Amino acid sequence: MDLVNHLPDRLLFAVPKKGRLYEKCCNLLSGADIQFRRSNRLDIALSTNLPIALIFLPAADIPVFVGEGNCDLGITGLDQIKEADQFNNIESLLDLKFGSCKLQIQVPATGEINESKQLIGKKIVSSFTKLSTDYFKELGDSNPNIRYVGGSVEASCALGVADAIVDLVESGETMKAAGLKAIDTILETSAHLISSKTPKFPDLVKTIRQRIEGVLAAQEYVLCNYNAPKSILSNCLNITPGRRAATVSTLDKHSPEEEDWVAISSMVKRKEIGNVMDELKKQGASDILVLEISNCRV
């Protein structure tokens, strides 16, 4: 990491070095055309097409490096941002809609504890000690007994270290395998793009945000093109209002009948496109085509 001190003028972008967010982050950077090569032995990679240096860090450290250090941008979970208590120093630019999970209170499935208030005064283990402490203080526990464990948190109850744990739950399989059940949710989290409130490269921060917004929109939407008579135009626009608005244009008049027809192009949510096409057909639209969006700016 000494290489950081010798970098030329580049925006420092902190991203998770491993774990559940790493692969998704790499795909997102590729979609935003941030090209780089990472050596297996280095946690720094220089972009080959932009003045950016990617710094690969543990997700839990990223809020501090963005909030108090020289990193202008970062990607990490909302849970890590709140645990680091850095919202006075950073701005959450985008919810990236991946890495979704829940920070939950878990207890032995065969035990007698079924609600969080029963844990007041009990031993609790977590890697999220601030969020856990804040939660139990709100429940009325003035001095919660929260112990930090960085890994294998789910084993703490079985090994006699804790009466309950606070940990992230994605699918719930690990929780069930450890003989635990969730009794409450402290936080729902996902990956966020964050920036320093005083970035050194504000224009580049804006550019990267716009690129990533475009990648997210391309993942969420498809482009629906179709033709329709002017008489049903309002009905069609109600079905395909677009992300901002639909584009309506006149058709080339190859026959007198086409004078009363228009061509419509609209961004439609990918998960809704099947029903949208059915509704357009019922209304009387024709030549309904769906095109993939590889990238865009929104």
Please say if the pLDDT value at position 5 is more than 70: no
Helix extents (H) in 161-228: 173-177, 202-220
Contact between 64 and 14 (Cβ < 8 Å): no
What is the pLDDT averaged over residues 214-222?
96
pLDDT at 80: 95
Q: Looking at domain 220-291, which CATH architecture does it have?
A: 2-Layer Sandwich (3.30)
Please say if the pLDDT value at position 256 is more than 80: no
1-5, 53-57, 72-76, 287-291: range with lowest mean pLDDT: 1-5
Amino acid at 188: E
- Closest Cα partner for 131 from 163, 98, 166? 166
pLDDT at 258: 59
User: What distance in Å separates the CA atoms of residue 157 and residue 179, rounded to the nearest whole number?
Assistant: 9
101-189: CATH topology: D-Maltodextrin-Binding Protein; domain 2 (3.40.190)
Please say if the pLDDT value at position 239 is more than 90: yes
Q: Which segments of the chain belong to CATH 3.40.190.10?
A: 2-98+190-200, 101-189
pLDDT at 42: 84
List the beta strands (DSSP E) in the chain: 11-16, 44-46, 52-57, 73-77, 90-95, 101-108, 123-126, 145-148, 164-169, 180-189, 191-196, 221-229, 247-250, 261-269, 286-291
Q: Which segments of the chain belong to CATH 3.30.70.120?
A: 220-291
What is the longest distance spanned by two Cα atoms in the chain?
83
What is the pLDDT averaged over residues 213-222?
96
CA distances from 183 to 103, 114, 119, 149, 175 (A): 11, 6, 11, 20, 12
pLDDT at 6: 57
pLDDT at 4: 58
Residues 142-151: pLDDT tens digits? 899 999 998 8
Going by pLDDT thresholds of 50, 70 and 90, the confidence category of residue 67 is very high
What sign results for the dihedral spanned by CA atoms 262, 267, 273, 275? negative
2-98+190-200: CATH topology: D-Maltodextrin-Binding Protein; domain 2 (3.40.190)
